[in-house]
Chains A and B, each alone.
Chain A
Amino acid sequence: MSTTEHQSDPHVEPHAADVAHDGHADGEFAHKPDSYYVKIALILAVITALETSTYWIDFGAFFLPTLLILMAIKFVMVASLFMHLKFDSKIFSWMFYSGLLLAIGVYVAFLATFRFFAPT
């Protein structure tokens, strides 16, 4: 529901909103041209194609690490560039990644107790 709580004065000039913000004001920050986002999307598309190619091409021992690294790259690219974490306050990154890292830590430990990672 948080999307629906607004700073609710429609009369305020939108630019006034940024006066109060520090260096990385949100909303108006980092006006990247559309072409910038298209380029990122192209890179993401290429990575996805690479990922999918593992279905047809045998990568041998590199298979698993390749996939995991590509996945992480895609994740970080979308989070940093499309979700603007790179341009935004570090507090947001900190909040999101603490949740993510906690999830990874806890659930990896959880799977480890089931010997999920033990060689079969």
Chain B
Amino acid sequence: MAIIERPSTPAVVGAGAGAPAVVTPSQAYGVLRRPVAATGWRSWVFTVDHKKLGIMYGVVSLFFFLVGGFEALLIRLQLAGPEGTVLSAGLYNEMFTMHATTMVFLFVMPMAAAFANYLVPLQIGARDVAFPRINAFGFWCFLAGAIFINTSWFLGGAADGGWFMYQPNANALFSPSHGIDFWGLGLQITGIASLTGAVNLIVTILNMRAPGMSLMKMPIFTWMILVIQFLLLFAMPVITVALFLLMFQREFGATFFDVSAGADPLLWQHLFWIFGHPEVYIIVLPGFGIVSEVLPVFARKPLFGYRFVVFSGAAIGFVGWGVWAHHMFASGLGPVSVAVFSVATMLIAIPTGVKIVNWTMTLWGGKIWFSTAMLFAIGLIVEFTIGGLSGVTHAVAPSDTQQTDTYYIVAHFHYTIFGGAVLGLFAGFYYWWPKIFGKRLSESLGKWNFWLMIIGMNLTFGPMHIIGLQGQPRRMMNWTEARAGEGFFNLGFWNRVASVGSLILAVGVAFFIVNIWVTHRPSSKTPKSELDPWDARSLEWITQNPPKEHNFDSIPTVHALDEFFHRKYEVDHDTGEVTKVASAEEILAAEEAKADHHIHLPSPSYWPIILAFSLPVMGYGVIFNRFLIVAGALGVLLAMFGWALEPSVADDSDYDPPAEGGSNKELATIG
């Protein structure tokens, strides 16, 4: 449904300017003109460029990282002293629910999507993803869902049932506010983003690799993203079912989880954790992928046992489907189920251990450069291993029964998620920052950032092992001095330590924000980054920093794993000696010299954002006024037809100068 304008240079918006629109009859219909802006807010809002979408994913999820962190600080402030009064009991429930929801669904997952969006096409030598408009749609769905969930704070209170939303506690009887409705519907919307993103990235990775890049020559980060997308593909529909049942129960009077009606509330737990356990790996594997890129670069050695890292990643993804009930050992599953899931859970420690060994062996004998990115990567190995070990203690069902619902669990999953996923993401920030923004972040501020975060996280989550084993339950709004215990195991002391730790952690994160500001403020003296600041190994570095809109002037042909390294260096197979044969600049110049003449990028579109923002309208409709459902549905229908009728790439004759034989510069900037 678009009249395609001629994106001339400079791009003109609206009719009448420049040459009359040349449209081919097959495409000239509809009411809306196609967006063409190459600069300004329109170039972002209607973009289908995977790099812009990646940056937007990153900015929004970083914002929600700060929101989730703020919620965590309030929780720690409440627990800093006995009988805390910072938050009311109800608000405390909302706070820990939204802290987890925000961190899992609005920070770690979309931040992984940010990296995947930005880097996967670059790492496989593609000019965009397979479905650019669906990519844009995914981002706007995520944003729409995130805003939708958080508006609940102002419309009667946020969700308060814990991020797992156990039934029947999350039923309207015990949680009468609309918070859980917002939560469920909002997660449906962000779930659409995950599902469409999964389909899109799988097709991209399988179908759009540069010539010569077989699966076993693919960068390891891309491999891990592929595994994650399969997990998302199959896990999202399960939570979709659960959330629909929840909605039907809360909004339409069904009794799926109502014990008094004869229902099994464990139905919810099963559905949630069938999704929830793959979700755990969805959260942590991006970090694994990132450090598997970072460690070899800064150890100046190839990744030890690339194949093992790939296969153990796939194995984690597969076995991750058979362990969900270890979240439910205390729920009365029966001895057979518990035994089966207990053994399966121990099994999954094997591929995870393989990864740890491979990373350590990558470091062994390397000429290690302790850059900030490298520090974060090493931090991940150490901290995640601690979390992994406490995880093994949960796999033993009798010991888990003791630990269930105590702070020991909180300690465990923060070591794995913060120590695994978040440290990995920070390694990625520092490593790829010059690639994405053209400047290196300050290394000295980065060191502060790293050490404060590491000290902060260990002070925050370390003591939780102790207070958990001492019996302090999770999700309790306060503790009392009378029951805090004596001596070394005094709960009060360790709670205070944890609260102080959380402040240190917050200061560490603040250093990251300061670092960004210092690097990019208008008066910044940070020079433009070198082309290859880290002496990197993979394909994304054979582009400008930041990459041109079409990524590669010519698509590189791949001959080896670590293609970029092998173009720079020659390895003597007998002596193992490495000699530099070409600089990054020379390699890039050689690629640019054979630039393609005819680069045709996907055209921007209005429909993804219109479609995505029709969904929360329907969401508000379910909660407040059924007429809004109809309005939102009409928006969805309109946008779908507009989308279906709009060719995803403007026709050749719609370019100025026309595409045939023209220079590619104008064609590239269609905005």
- Which residues from chain A sit less than 8 Å from chain B, CB to CB? 1-6, 8-10, 91, 99, 102-103, 105-106, 109-110, 112-115
**Is the pair A1, B640 in contact by a Cβ cutoff of 8 Å?**
yes
Q: Is the CB of B333 within 8 A of A113?
A: yes
Residues of A contacting B233 with CB < 8 Å? 99
Residue of A nearest to B647 (CB): A8
Q: Does B648 contact A (CB under 8 A)?
A: yes
Nearest CB on A from B95, distance (A):
32
Cβ–Cβ contact B321 & A5, under 8 A: no
Do A113 and B134 form a contact, CB below 8 Å, given A6-B647, A6-B648?
no
Chain B: minimal CB distance from A9 (Å): 8
Closest 6 A/B residue pairs (Cβ): A4-B644, A8-B647, A113-B337, A5-B131, A110-B270, A8-B649
B residues within 8 A CB of A6?
647-648
Q: Does B381 belong to the interface (CB within 8 Å)?
A: no
In the bound complex, do residue B337 and residue A1 qualify as a contact, i.e. CB atoms below 8 Å apart? no
B506 nearest CB across to chain A (Å):
39
Q: Most chain-A CB neighbours within 10 Å: which of B238, B322, B333, B647? A: B647
Inter-chain contacts of B133 with A (CB < 8 A): 1, 5
Task: Output the least CB separation between B212 and chain A (Å).
Answer: 17
Q: Which residues of A contact B131 (CB under 8 A)?
A: 2, 5
Residues of B within 8 A of A102 (CB): 234, 321
Q: B270–A5 contact, CB under 8 A?
A: no
B516 at interface, CB cutoff 8 A: no
Q: Quick check: B325 and A113 within 8 Å, CB to CB? A: yes
Q: Write the nearest CB–CB distance from A57 to chain B, whole angstroms.
A: 34
B274 touches A1 (CB 8 A): no
- A10→B26 contact, CB < 8 A: yes
Complex formed: what's the CA distance from A114 to B334 in Å?
A: 9
Contacts known (A8-B649, A99-B234, A106-B274); A2 close to B333, Cβ less than 8 A? no
Q: Does B196 contact A (CB under 8 A)?
A: yes
Contact status of A106 and B137, CB under 8 A, knowing A1-B643, A2-B131:
no
Per-residue A-contact encoding for B255-293, CB less than 8 Å = 1, 0 else: 000000000101000100010000000000000000000
Question: For chain B residues 332-359, which have a beta carbon within 8 Å of chain A?
Answer: 333-334, 337
Q: Answer whether residue B199 sits at the interface, using C-beta atoms and an 8 A cutoff.
A: yes
Q: Considering the chains assembled together, what is the distance between the CA atoms of A103 and B271 in angstroms?
A: 12
B648 touches A106 (CB 8 A): no
B605 to chain A, nearest CB (A): 11
A8 nearest CB neighbor, chain B only: B647
Residues in A with CB closer than 8 Å to B137 are 1
CA distance A113 to B337 in the complex (A): 6
Closest-by-CB residue of A relative to B646 is A4
B103 CB to closest chain A CB (Å) equals 26
How far, in angstroms, from A1 to B193 measured CA to CA in the complex?
A: 12
CB distance from B4 to the nearest CB of A (A): 11
Number of interface residues of B (CB under 8 A): 30
Tell me the smallest distance from the CB of B229 to a CB of chain A, in Å: 12
CB distance from B378 to the nearest CB of A (A): 35
Q: How far is the CA of A36 from the CA of B60 in the complex (A)?
A: 54
> CA of A46 to CA of B640 in the docked complex: distance in angstroms?
39
Interface centre among A4, A109, A114 (most CB of B within 10 A): A4
Measured CA separation A89–B325 after assembly (Å): 36
A105-B322, A113-B270, A113-B325 provided; 6 other pairs, C-beta below 8 A?
A: A4-B640, A5-B130, A9-B649, A10-B26, A109-B322, A110-B270
Cβ–Cβ < 8 Å partners of B206 in chain A: 91
Contact with A along B238-263 (1 / 0, CB 8 A): 10000000000000000000000000
Residues of chain A lying within 8 A (CB to CB) of residue B26: 10
Q: Which residues of A contact B24 (CB under 8 A)?
A: 10
Give 6 CB contacts A-B under 8 Å.
A4-B643, A6-B648, A105-B322, A106-B321, A113-B266, A113-B333
Q: Which of B321, B322, B643, B648 contacts A8 (CB 8 A)?
A: B648
Closest to A107 in B: B274
What is the minimal beta-carbon distance from A43 to any residue of chain B, in angstroms? 31
Q: Assess whether A1 is in contact with B196, with CB atoms less than 8 Å apart.
A: yes
Contacts of A106 in B (CB 8 A): 238, 274, 321
Given the known inter-chain contacts A1-B640, A6-B648, A99-B234, please indicate yes or no for A114 contacting B134, CB distance below 8 A.
no
Q: Which residues of A contact B640 (CB under 8 A)?
A: 1, 4
Q: Which residues of A contact B643 (CB under 8 A)?
A: 1, 4
CA distance A1 to B133 in the complex (A): 10
Asked if A2 contacts B134 (CB within 8 A), the reply is yes
Of all chain A residues, the one with the shortest Cβ separation from B333 is A113
A68 smallest CB distance to B (angstroms):
23
Measured between beta carbons, the chain B residues less than 8 angstroms from A112 are 337
A97 to B: closest C-beta gap in Å: 12
Flag if B199 contacts A2 (CB, 8 Å): yes
Q: How far is the CB of B328 from chain A (nearest CB, A)?
A: 9
Alpha-carbon separation in the docked complex, A78 to B640 (Å): 28
Contacts of A2 in B (CB 8 A): 131, 134, 199
Cα-based distance from A6 to B206 in the complex (angstroms): 18
Distance between Cα atoms of A109 and B324 in the complex (Å): 11
The docked-state distance in angstroms from the alpha carbon of A9 to that of B337 is 55
Would you give the shortest CB distance from A40 to chain B, in whole angstroms? 29
> In the bound complex, how far is the Cα of B199 from the Cα of A102, in angstroms?
17
A1 and B321 within 8 A (CB): no
Query: B649 and A1: CB pair below 8 A?
Result: no
How far apart sit A103 and B337, CA to CA, in the bound complex (Å)? 18
Please give, as numbers and ranges, the residues of chain A lying within 8 Å of B266 by CB-CB distance: 113-114
Q: Compute how far the CA of A77 lies from the CA of B429 in the bound complex, rounded to whole angstroms.
A: 50
User: Which B183-213 residues sit within 8 Å CB-CB of chain A?
Assistant: 196, 199, 206
In the complex, what residue of chain A is closest to B131 when comparing beta carbons? A5
Nearest-neighbor residue (CB-CB) of A3 within chain B: B644
Whole-angstrom CA separation of A14 from B95 in the bound complex: 58
Query: How distant is the Cα of A10 from the Cα of B649 in the complex, in angstroms?
Result: 11
**Bound CA span A77–B286, Å:** 39
Report the Cα distance A5→B199, complex, angstroms: 13
Contact with A along B132-146 (1 / 0, CB 8 A): 011001000000000
**Of all chain B residues, which has the CB nearest A109?**
B322
| Docked complex Cα distance between A108 and B579 (Å) | 57
Question: When the two chains form their complex, are residues B648 and A110 in contact, meaning their CB atoms are under 8 A apart?
Answer: no
Name the B residues within 8 Å of A110 (CB-CB).
270, 274
Distance to closest chain A CB from B122 (angstroms): 21
The residues in B between 112 and 151 inclusive whose CB is less than 8 angstroms from any CB of A are 130-131, 133-134, 137
CB-nearest residue of chain A relative to B137? A1
Which residues on the A side are within 8 Å of B325 (C-beta)? 113
Closest A residue by C-beta to B203 = A2
Contacts of A115 in B (CB 8 A): 334
Chain B hits for A105, CB < 8 A? 321-322
B336 to chain A, nearest CB (A): 9
Cα separation A8 to B654 with both chains bound (whole Å)? 13
Cβ distance B275 to chain A, nearest Cβ, rounded Å = 10
CA distance A112 to B266 in the complex (A): 13
Q: Name the A residues within 8 Å of B199 (CB-CB).
A: 2
Measured in the bound complex, the distance between the Cα atoms of B134 and A91 in whole Å is: 22
A10-B654 Cα distance, complex, nearest whole Å: 14
* Distance from A30 Cβ to chain B, minimum over Cβ atoms (Å): 22
